[in-house]
A and B are shown apart, each in its own frame.
Chain A
Amino acid sequence: MILTFNTLVAVSLGYVAMLFAVAFAADRRARAGRGGWLRSPLIYTLSLSIYCTAWTFYGAVGYAARSGLEYLTIYLGPSLVMVGWWWVVRKLVRIGRAQRITSIADLVSSRFGKSVPIGALVTLIAVAGVTPYIALQLQSISLTFAAFTEGLEGGRADVDFVALWTAIGLAVFTILFGTRNLDPSERHHGIVMAVAVEAVVKLFALLAVGVFVVWGLGGGVGGILDRIDRAPIPMWQGNGGRWVGLTFLSAAAFLTLPRMFHVLVVENDDDRHLAVASWAFPLYVLLMSLFVVPIAVVGLDRLPEGSNPDLFVLALPISEGHGGLALLAFLGGFSSATSMVIVATIALATMVSNHIVAPLWLSTRRPDQVSRDLRGTILLARRASVGGVLSLGYVYFQITGSGVALSSIGLIAFAGVAQILPALLGGVFWRGGTAKGAGAGLAIGATVWAWTLFLPSFGLAVIPATVLENGPYGLDWLRPRALFGLAGLDPLLHAVIWSLLLNATAFTLVSLLTFPKPLERLQGAQFVNVFERAQPGRAWSRSGAEVEDLLVLAQRVLGTEAALDLFGAEAGRQGKSGHLPDPTPAFLQRLERELAGSVGAAAAHALVGQLVQGPGVSVEDLMAVAGETAQILEYSARLEQKSAEQERTARALREANDKLTQLARQKDAFLSRISHELRTPMTAIRSFSSLLAEDGLSPLEAQRFARIVEAEAQRMTRLLDDLLDLSVLRDGQVSLKRQHGLLADVIDRALLSAGVARAGLRVLRDPGQEAVAISTDLDRLAQVFINLASNAAKYCDADRPELRISVHRRGGQVIVDFADNGSGIPVPEREVIFESFARLSGRRSGRPEPSGAGLGLAICREVMARLGGSIAYLPGQGGAAFRVAFPQGLAAAAE
């Protein structure tokens, strides 16, 4: 195979064209919704292989040739993360999903209250750290071009020229596939697919070279082991500290490198993919590192003294005349470099446009000038950022030239992005972390890193030898290689220890000393507790609208059925089947209206705005939401008040109902009693009258029976009279006749009517007391006295029954006591004697006189109430005693 510069260019272009095709096809499939297999764990794992850049592809061999097995640390860190720390990655992935995270800067700034300065700081650190790394890739491509074309016709390729065009070509590819549109999830199926293909290419290429070297050149496994034993490289060179440090550094970088974060978290479709990746990725890395040492030792053996060990992978096939294998190796390196550059550029461009350009652009506009649609602006910013990042990489490449070893550039980048680690881990595991703490840690860590590692890497032009030796302005303790007097340490380890130590210390101390703002606390809780509570309400901070997300939102607000109906109808209108219409502006407006019906206009606008337009809720939106919330609260307070009123009404109704039920029961009992009271005399009347109708009664018997019939008939009449009387009294329909008279006269009349003399009751009176002139309804008063006297006559159970009537006056009241000398009324029955039909038990039987119906005292109570007085049982008098009290002169108003 004849290799010329032009062939190489043609192969490169062809390879890039293939990548274009892959990415394009994958994008198309994903867009058409047929990209299920694009989201498999295998593709995810392969996409993680962008960790293995040109540095890994070429540089690992160089590293091994110089420092033995130390290169393994670069693989060890990520493998440890995937195997042992995959739960950290899972948490990051879960947070990324819940918060619609687009980059590591976004995650850190979101965690710390969506802080703009933190986002910008992380972005700056990332750009500073990754730019050399991008330069490294450009360098590797141009170096391989140079190596390839050396000694070929057409001459050695112009390294600068190749690097420039590589940068331009990568920029075009990235802009085409990475910033074609604004995707809310920042997922790029085309690019991920292309990266996966490149992962296969570079693995295959390296394995092919390795197999060739071991079995083609090295004499099989045994021969290689011999060579390794004889090799001039110290396999276990270096101290344990450096091993631990490098392993830790590569583990940290695996989490914090923007491109790694992008494929690990942002492009992750399903956190279950991590389960596969946790073993598959270490396996991939193992395969990638399998032939590193053999290639290094064979290269050292067979290639001329002074050959660049970073190029052994390429140089060995070339020197052995295997052009095809060399081309494959070249493509492997090329794909390693391009995939890294593309993803890193996308990640950085997203960060730069979202966290530096957009805030700056917004801050220069008045709020009313900010159009609803930021999409165009952000897209433009992102494309410009892609160009900017690649330009920076190219400029760095120009400045540092090709003099620096690949591996050292990579480690500088690792140490730089590792500064994000304290804020990242502290943010997702410690609720106490604050924005000020994170800012302090990041700033101090980045400064120390720049001073001790990054700036010195530019050479003596940036950090003069005197500063390196004696510190700036002679400040000894600020020497970049011996900060605070810590001399004699490996420069990398020195930088990593100091920068991360000071970073983490500043983060912790400042966090403890400062108080988080409400949004920080809210976000902190959501990040740290992402597994405990999936808080749907705050799941948007992104730009662009994905219709699934809108549907999820709508389902949450409107309910599943209503949301599906709404979306289904719109899809039908757009001529699509299913429930996922295009999120056209008209539909978004409709959706917002529908949501407003449920959550209020401001909240609906903020919700849809969040999904459609992205970054952050504006203060105005928040105020509007707060206002609406207040209204809703007020409304619900009113509702509560109303329901309390209803409660009261219901209670009143219930009480009224209870009272009615009770009244109905009383009425039933009353009727039952009346029935009984009427039937009892009726029974005697019927029985005796039918006896009277028979023949054969003696005249005496007949006479007696007739008298009984008469008495019972009278009893019935009295009962009916009493009933009517009571009814009238209770209705208040009674008219009182006010008369003047003497109390003694009223008592005389009553005793006569009650027939006390006939009953054998002796009445004891004091005429002096009774000489009281009264002015009231004398007939009604007499009625009360009659009742009391006849009760005494009927129920006094003394052998010589007596009734004592005593009168006294108190104020305007006349008090008349009726007390007999019987056994009185038992205490429990004193309560009920004034009720209707309250006939007492244990009355004397055998008397021919029929007893009353039990209405007497009830009537007395009603009468006394009408007369403005009272009647009560008077205890402690020996027998039954009643006290009647009434005003001496009935008030005219009561008439």
Chain B
Amino acid sequence: MASHAGAITLVVNGSTVTLDPSRDFHPSDTLSSVLRDRLGYTGLKVACDQGACGACTVLLDGRAVLSCMMLALEADGHEVLTIEGLPADDPVIQAFYEQCEPGYGTAMQCGFCTPGFVMAAKGLLNENPDPTMDEVKEALAGNICRCGCYPAIARAVLKAAATMKARAAGAAGAATSGAGSAKEATHA
């Protein structure tokens, strides 16, 4: 691929993007500003711009990072996943949306922190698909929800983990039963 000196290549939500420093970004630009202002991924939010709130969380090669604390340059050659890259039936998105059982409130109110929490939860579940409540809290301790929905957020993450587990079991079950019927068909 022909590119200018200093150009960087990111894979954002599966699409390869090459950015030219003479035109598309400045070497001092943060990943958050390039994603939001240059590439239009406005799902991530910038609230403190100093790594203290987690609203800008995205996944870099599957791990949660604070995009306001890293330069776009540092993401060169890496895969970036923003909330726009999650499918509509993503179990974490669904769990955050659906959380409303008696006694805990909803998992968001103003919603400004929510994409950051969702991506931090994705990062946790990528590494640890079956976390305990303490592990959930530890993983989300860098995210601020000023509306204070923490108890419901923690429950939503545990539910998302359970849904992922059930879906994986369902898929495995479907694969197994499929194989079984193929076997029967062979016998017949």
A, B from the same assembly:
no
Give the interface of B toward A (CB within 8 A): none
**A residues in contact (CB < 8 Å) with B:** none
